[in-house]
Amino acid sequence: MKYPEVNIKTAKELGINEEEFELIQKYMGRMPNFTELSIYSVMWSEHASYKNSIKWLKTLPRDGGVLLTGAGEENAGLVDIGNNLACAFKIESHNHPCAVEPYQGAATGVGGINRDIFTMGARPIAQLNSLRFGAIDRDHTKWIAKGVVKGIGDYGNAFGVPVLGGEVFFDESYNSNPLVNAMSVGIMEKGKMVSAIAEGAGNPVFIVGSSTGKDGIHGATFASADITEDSANDIPSIQVGDPFQEKLLLEATLELIETGVVVGMQDMGAAGIICSTSEMSEKGNAGMRINLDKVPLRQKNMEAWEILLSESQERMLVVVEKGKEADAQKVFDKWDIHCVQIGEVIDEDKLYFHYKGEEIAQVPASTLVLGGGAPIYEREYTEPAYYAESKKFKIEDVPQPENLKEIVDFLITHPNLASKNWVSEQYDTMVRTNNMTTNMAADAGLVNIKNTNTALALTVDCNSRYVKADPKIGTMIAVTEAARNVACTGAKPVAITNCLNFGSPYNPEAFWQFVGAIEGMGEACRKFDTPVTGGNVSFYNQTTINGKTEPVFPTPTIGMLGILEDKSRKTGLSFKKKGDVIMLLGRSKNDINSSEYLYSYHKIKNTPPPFFDIDFELQLNKMLQLLAKVKLVESMHDISDGGLYLNLLESCLENELGFDITSDAEVREDAFLFGEAQGRAVVSVDMDAEQEFIDLMIKFNFPFSVLGHVTKGELRVDDISYGFVRDAKNKFMQALQNKMEA
């Protein structure tokens, strides 16, 4: 094959601008050849280089506390969880692949994030996912949602790691651009982390796992471009997953690490061999000499640049101590997977690639990567007009409706609020026998760390409607809600990972949302002392509605880790028995801003975020942890989407109980029941413990009120019956299935 001539036109076709093209020539001291240009194209893509976001990401709190590695230093963040154990966790997006091929897009997203965890030597023990789809009544949305859920299920179920939690949200904002964010969590012995580093001249470099094909070429570049009507033409950029290979790779990798011969290891994700070789070399101030003829291929007639850029799944690059090659080989022979030496580490900042007897590329490793020579940009941003407009909204604009029962029926069957069991039952949530929330519903997933007294609390959260309303406050709420969910199980929030899904960084209004979100995240994470361990940025998410292209709702998904040091403090969200007293922590507010009620029922869509006070949130969070510690409550459940009514109903389901409550005379009844003002949680208390509970609240001067009590099954507000729990439960559990299979 004859390669295209290298000039600015070729460069632009590969997504490289004029300025970058000149910089490449400067680094190389000559004109690059086509292969070298392709290398820079993927390595300097947004996806691999963070060139438009890194300036802002650096403002986040990224170390300290329980962190064992700084953000971005390794494949995933690492946290000390006591018991001589460390927890590796990270969330990543696979949005663009899922927009055109939902099943494989989602499956390979799950594969990729799990490899990030076990390449460090940690065994994955839990997964979560955060999914956003278009309007649910569209056939296209159902096709995407069904494919994504099946893709996550088929891959994760075979791989054998339970799904502990997640989110599913529908809005027309995601019509042509779904968001699929997958998180994996693993544990390992402390001090045994394998670094993504290449060092020691002469050490052999191995490729292990699947053979390499033409799938996924330029995937990183694809992920760094706008989704358009022509995106389906990019299907060859999408990788195909093989969970069986991944399972073998996991077991073989962990066994290899046990032998002690590994110098460094990195999985192959975006940008394949070129990314792993350059990042590992840069980290070790070294280089590599690689012979591409040795790479096991699954297709004939592959060009060198195709081998370098292929994103074929289930592969790793491993540097082993020289002389110990046979030890490595033995492990991979046992598991019947490839383990082939393709080169060696050299003492020079250069990557040399050979193919068919020729040196086909020679690039300085450090110029390719973030923190090395990759460009860093500052992007312009401007406040969009909708922001000032939203502040004009007043609750008085909405008349108080007469029939609240009709609103209850609407909300408990709304796909954003109803049970997500149609989704979660397609995932194996119990393999590895560590899920403590199968038989005790809770605000966060709880993972049993066997043979210790510890459990981990895990959650993913983001209400992107709030972030659209106010990027800074909305993102502070996302962090805070995650922390509330963790605290409601009794655990202490310790760290987060983030998945930043935004529109184009070249759109100043979309970038304004990004900047606001980062500011809010930084402030909230400092407040809760939950540093950011790493994550992922996904730009260029946009959707076309009525001929107008707009960024999706800005969606900075927060994945949070909490530690429950004493398992006996674990607390669920379900009411336990008739007669228990229902208490509200925090204060009711006359606020319906940005609620599902206001947005979907009244269809008033541009309003400020709900009431939020971060100082009080911290107090509330500590109070929730304290209540679990002193074992004064039967249940704890924070108030979030859908407001108080949804909160109470959710607490009734597991044990089929009801509630009888009285509203607050100071607050409109629709705001009391359906408003989403932050800083609130509902707890239930045994009658015999009521006085002790009240004494504690008074001692801490903590705002609370008595809402009512748990009933045998009837749902009552202000002496009006809203029916019985069995009927409500049926509606709530069936609603999503009815919509999806309609």
Partner 1 sequence: MKFGVIIFPGSNCDHDMVYVLRDKLNQEVVELWHKDTDLQSVDAIMLPGGFSYGDYLRSGAIARYSPIMESVIEFANNGGFVFGVCNGFQVLCETGLLPGALLHNNDQKFICKNQHIIAEQKHSALTEYVPNGKILTIPIAHGEGRYYAPKDVLADMMQNHQIIFRYTNEDGDLSEDGNPNGSSMNIAGVCNLTGNVFGMMPHPERAADEDLGNTDGLMILHSIIHHLESKKA
- Angular region, 191: left φ>0, alpha ψ -120 to 50, beta rest: left
Among 435, 543, 600, 621, binds partner 1 (CB under 8 A): 435
Query: Residue 157 interacts with partner 1 (CB under 8 A)?
Result: yes
**Using only C-alpha atoms, what is the Rg of the chain?**
26
Binding mask 545-574 for partner 1 (x = CB under 8 A): ----------------------x-------
Under the binding rule (CB under 8 A), the answer on residue 428 touching partner 1 is yes
State the nearest-atom distance from the C-beta of 740 to partner 1, in Å.
11
User: Which residue stretch of 71-79, 150-158, 224-232, 498-506 sits at the interface with partner 1 (rule: CB under 8 A)?
Assistant: 150-158
Q: Do 102 and 147 meet the contact criterion of CB atoms below 8 Å apart?
A: yes
H or E segment and range at residue 163 = strand 163-170
Q: In the complex with partner 1, which residue's Cβ is closer, 54 or 441?
A: 441
- Segment holding 128, helix H or strand E: strand 123-133
Using the 8-state DSSP alphabet, how is residue 159 labeled? Answer: H
Are 710 and 575 in contact by the 8 Å Cβ rule? The answer is yes
Contact call for residue 577 and partner 1 (CB under 8 A): no
61 or 153, CB closer to partner 1? 153
The minimum distance between CB 142 and partner 1, in angstroms, equals 14
- Reported as type and span, the H/E element at residue 77 is strand 77-80
Q: Is residue 158 at the binding interface for partner 1, with CB under 8 A as the rule?
A: yes
Site for partner 1 (CB under 8 A): which residue of 70, 160, 384, 508? 160
CB of 266 to partner 1, least distance (A): 24
3-class DSSP assignment, residue 565: coil
Residues 6+ apart with CB under 8 A from 473: 466, 520, 609, 612
Question: Given the rule CB under 8 A, which of 79-87, 426-434, 553-561, 696-704 is the region that contacts partner 1?
Answer: 426-434
Q: Looking at beta carbons only, is 329 or 426 nearer to partner 1? A: 426
**Applying CB under 8 A, which of residues 277, 429, 541, 588 lies at the interface with partner 1?**
429
- 506-525 residues in contact with partner 1 (CB under 8 A) are none
Q: How far is the CB of 204 from partner 1 (least distance, A)?
A: 26
List the one residue from 21, 133, 159, 332 that touches partner 1 (CB under 8 A).
159
In 3-state terms the chain splits into helix, strand, coil percentages (rounded to 5) of 40, 25, 40
Give CA–CA dist 149/514, Å, rounded: 28
Q: Does 450 bind partner 1 (CB under 8 A)?
A: yes
Q: Which amino acid is at 199?
A: E
Write the CB contacts of 251 (distance below 8 Å, at least 6 apart in sequence): 335
Query: Does 433 participate in binding partner 1 (rule CB under 8 A)?
Result: yes
Is 142 an interacting residue with respect to partner 1 (CB under 8 A)? Answer: no
Could you tell me which residues come within 8 angstroms of residue 586 by beta carbon, excluding any fewer than 6 positions away? 616, 620, 639, 679, 680, 681, 703, 704
Q: What b/e sequence results for 690-723 when a residue is b if at least 16 CB atoms lie within 10 Å of its CB, and e otherwise?
A: eeebeebbeeeebbbeebbbbbebebbbeeeebb
Q: Which residue of 451, 688, 719, 720 would you call a contact of partner 1, by CB under 8 A? A: 451
- Count of residues of this chain found to bind partner 1 when the rule CB under 8 A is applied: 35
Residue whose CB is less far from partner 1, 242 or 650: 242
Tell me whether residue 94 is one of the annotated catalytic residues: yes
- Stretch near partner 1 under the rule CB under 8 A, chosen from 9-17, 56-64, 394-402, 445-453: 445-453
Contact 499, 93 (CB under 8 A): yes
| Choices 24-32, 155-163, 165-173, 574-582 (CB under 8 A): range interacting with partner 1 | 155-163
355: DSSP letter: E
Stretch that binds partner 1, among 431-439, 521-529, 547-555, 588-596 (CB under 8 A): 431-439
155 makes contact with partner 1 (CB under 8 A): no
User: Is 427 a binder of partner 1 (CB under 8 A)?
Assistant: yes
Smallest distance, partner 1 to C-beta of residue 425, A: 5
User: Looking at 75-83, 342-350, 430-438, 556-564, which segment touches partner 1 (CB under 8 A)?
Assistant: 430-438
Rule CB under 8 A: say whether 596 interacts with partner 1.
Answer: no
Cβ atoms of 336 and 248 within 8 Å: the answer is: yes
CB atoms within 10 A of CB 340: 14
Binding segment for partner 1 (CB under 8 A), chosen from 152-160, 171-179, 260-268, 278-286, is 152-160
Is residue 7 exposed (0-12), middle (13-18) or buried (19+ Cβ within 10 Å)? exposed
638/481 Cα distance (integer angstroms): 8
Task: Quote the tokens at residue 180.
Answer: 């699929």
* Residue 223 CB coordination number (10 Å): 22
Report CA 552 to chain centroid distance, whole Å: 16
Q: Is 740 in the site for partner 1 (CB under 8 A)?
A: no
From 203-211, 386-394, 420-428, 505-513, span contacting partner 1 (CB under 8 A): 420-428
- Region of 586 (left: φ > 0; alpha: ψ -120 to 50; beta: rest) is left
Comparing CA positions, the residue from 536, 702, 736 lying closest to residue 93 is 536
- How far apart are the C-alpha atoms of 686 and 638, rounded to whole Å? 19
Q: Does 166 interact with partner 1 (rule: CB under 8 A)? A: no
Q: Whose CA is closest to 149, among 194, 183, 180, 174?
A: 180
Q: Is 140 a catalytic residue?
A: no
299 binds partner 1 (CB under 8 A): no
Strands 714-717 and 658-661 turn out to be: parallel
For residue 440, state whether it binds partner 1 (rule: CB under 8 A): yes
How far apart are CB 654 and partner 1 at their closest, in Å?
11
Instruction: Catalogue the E-assigned strands of 84-143.
Output: 85-93, 123-133
Segment holding 412, helix H or strand E: helix 404-412
Closer residue to partner 1 (CB): 158 or 706: 158
Q: Is 143 in the site for partner 1 (CB under 8 A)?
A: no
Interaction residues for partner 1, span 199-258 (CB under 8 A): 242-245, 247-248
Contacting range for partner 1; rule: CB under 8 A; set: 205-213, 377-385, 436-444, 461-469: 436-444
CB 321 within 8 A of CB 263: yes
Q: Which of 47, 218, 637, 709 is catalytic?
A: 47
The answer to whether 55 contacts partner 1 (rule: CB under 8 A) is no
Q: Which of 45, 221, 253, 448 binds partner 1 (CB under 8 A)?
A: 448
CB of 427 to partner 1, least distance (A): 6
Looking at the Cβ atoms of 73 and 154, the one nearer to partner 1 is 154
Q: Find the length of the chain.
A: 742
Asked if residue 419 binds partner 1 (CB under 8 A), the reply is no
Q: Which residues, numbered 23-42, are part of the site for partner 1 (CB under 8 A)?
A: none
8 Å CB contact between 731 and 653:
no
Q: Check residue 154 for interaction with partner 1 (CB under 8 A).
A: yes
Which H or E run contains 165?
A: strand 163-170
For residue 657, give the amino acid letter. L
**CB 334 → partner 1: shortest distance, Å?**
8
Regarding 443 and contact with partner 1 (CB under 8 A), the answer is no
Q: How far is the CB of 272 from partner 1 (least distance, A)?
A: 23
For residue 353, state whether it binds partner 1 (rule: CB under 8 A): no
Phi, psi of 85 (to 5 degrees): -120, 150
Given the residues 94, 354, 414, 709, the one annotated as active site: 94
Of 240 and 376, the one with the shorter C-beta distance to partner 1 is 240
The DSSP 8-state label assigned to residue 174 in this structure reads: G
Q: Does residue number 438 form part of the binding site for partner 1 (CB under 8 A)?
A: yes
**DSSP bridge pairs for 495:** 561
The answer to whether 336 contacts partner 1 (rule: CB under 8 A) is yes
Catalytic residues: 47, 94
* Footprint on this chain of partner 1 (rule: CB under 8 A): 150, 153-154, 157-160, 242-245, 247-248, 335-336, 421, 425-436, 438-440, 448, 450-451, 567
